[in-house]
Amino acid sequence: MPKISSDTLWDLAAAELQARESRTGDDGDEDEDDLVEDGNLCERTVLFMGSKSGGKTTILLRCLDRDEVPKPTLALEYTFGRRARGHNTPKDIAHLWELGGGISLSDLVQIPVTPLNVSTVSVVLVLDLSKPSCLWGTMEKLLQAALIQLEKVFAVPPRSRDSRASKPQNQSRELLRILPKDHPDRELISPFPVPLLLIGSKFDIFQDFESEKRRVICKTLRFLAHYYGASLIFTSSKSETTMSKARSFVSHLAFGTERGKSMSADPSKPLIIPSGMDSLSQIGSPPTIDVDIGTLHARNPLDLWKKVFERVFPPESTLEHKELKDPAKDPQYSEALIDSMRAQKNQELEQYKREQAKSWKGMALET
């Protein structure tokens, strides 16, 4: 007669955790590559964020080979992908998060970036090339939000988070992964603490821009990607070739597959620049169109590039991009049936307020 286990679900979970810790070792410093090679299940987290209506969902669905019509992202949405490394092996899992709303909901990055998964987190930043006036502001706001959350996670005591993750260790690993020790730019860049991919979307619209404007955008994004130690690629949902290239870069972050080593820096063609394959000497100085760099008072190279870029593409008025305090009034989340019912209830509420106001006035006159 088979033996019936009396262990509860919590007992089994505790036993599994102890088994994993024993495989990790006493110092808790198991390399991420070991998780892939020893046949165990490997899980990674990829956070997609970027320009509002910039094509994040389209790119995500293409990467998952899902033939679905993209829908507006409601705040923060989760999905996952699985991939088998071979026969009779467990499938690796990629936890995929998509942040909607552009910069308005940037605080939600604290949900997918946690102390428990920080060592396997990567970020995909999608920037709408058809709206260059919003490009720098979107990049700056979202990367800052992600960096603040990463700082909080790295500040958590080691026992409360993934013991493999620490900010100095992650930054040194990223720097070694991106540039060799003898690279002249090693002291001039500030790699993002976790792997970062910049995707310029809507290249089909961008390619119709004036050549000088294309050159400014391309050089600026190349500088940003190199400065943060990121890969850079341009895509268009109307081009299967560019989407296939983007899919390989995302798959590299999600499953550790090969990303390809081809490079294209021609502004008239979609850029493809893997991290570590560019240099400040190849990028050149900030592009100037009727701008005297000597008149710009910049604190550092990043600030200088920002000032030059915003001289060419002035950022839109902050009033036009004022964050909506009431999400119900955001057209991104409109629903015809619900909105009509809400409008009717609002009218009934206003009518009720007027009637109550009249009754109170009547009572006041009587007294």
Do 362 and 299 belong together in one domain?
no
Q: Find the CATH number of the domain harbouring 158.
A: 3.40.50.300
Cross-strand partners of 130: none
Number of domains, the chain? 2
Do 183 and 227 belong together in one domain?
yes
Q: Is residue 88 part of a domain?
A: yes
Task: Tell how far CA 218 is from the center of its chain.
Answer: 20
Question: What does the alpha-carbon distance between residue 245 and residue 293 come to, in Å, rounded to a whole number?
Answer: 36
The parent domain of residue 354 ranges over: 335-366
Q: Do 68 and 42 form a contact (C-beta atoms < 8 A)?
A: no
Kindly state the tokens that stand for 183: 């690279």
Q: Degrees (nearest 5) of the Cα angle 192, 287, 201? A: 55
Do 124 and 231 belong together in one domain?
yes
Q: Is residue 267 part of a domain?
A: yes
Question: What does the alpha-carbon distance between residue 182 and residue 276 come to, in Å, rounded to a whole number?
Answer: 12
Do 347 and 214 belong together in one domain?
no
Which stretches of the chain drop beneath a pLDDT of 50? 1-5, 24-38, 318-324
Do 37 and 69 belong together in one domain?
yes
pLDDT at 350 (0 to 100): 84
Do 347 and 217 belong together in one domain?
no
Q: Is residue 229 part of a domain?
A: yes
Q: Is residue 324 part of a domain?
A: no
Do 50 and 186 belong together in one domain?
yes
DSSP per-residue codes, 277-298:
S--HHHH-SPP-SS--GGG---
Global pTM?
A: 0.74
Q: Is residue 319 part of a domain?
A: no
234 membership: H or E segment, kind and range:
strand 231-234
Do 358 and 220 belong together in one domain?
no
pLDDT at 26 (0 to 100): 42
pLDDT at 355 (0 to 100): 78
Cross-strand partners of 98: 48, 77
Determine the 3-state secondary structure of 220 from DSSP: helix
Do 298 and 348 belong together in one domain?
no
Do 108 and 241 belong together in one domain?
yes
Alpha helices, H only, 81-207: 135-155, 167-178, 203-206
pLDDT digits (tens, 9 = 90+) for 215-250: 999 999 999 999 999 999 999 999 999 999 999 999
Alpha helices, H only, 198-335: 203-206, 211-227, 240-255, 280-283, 301-312
Determine the 3-state secondary structure of 13 from DSSP: helix
Q: Is residue 105 part of a domain?
A: yes
pLDDT at 295 (0 to 100): 64
Do 69 and 218 belong together in one domain?
yes
275-312: b (≥16 Cβ within 10 Å) or e = bbbbebeebeebbeeebeeeeeeeeebbebbbbbbebb
Cross-strand partners of 361: none
Do 204 and 341 belong together in one domain?
no
Nearest to 283 by CA among 304, 307, 258, 265: 265
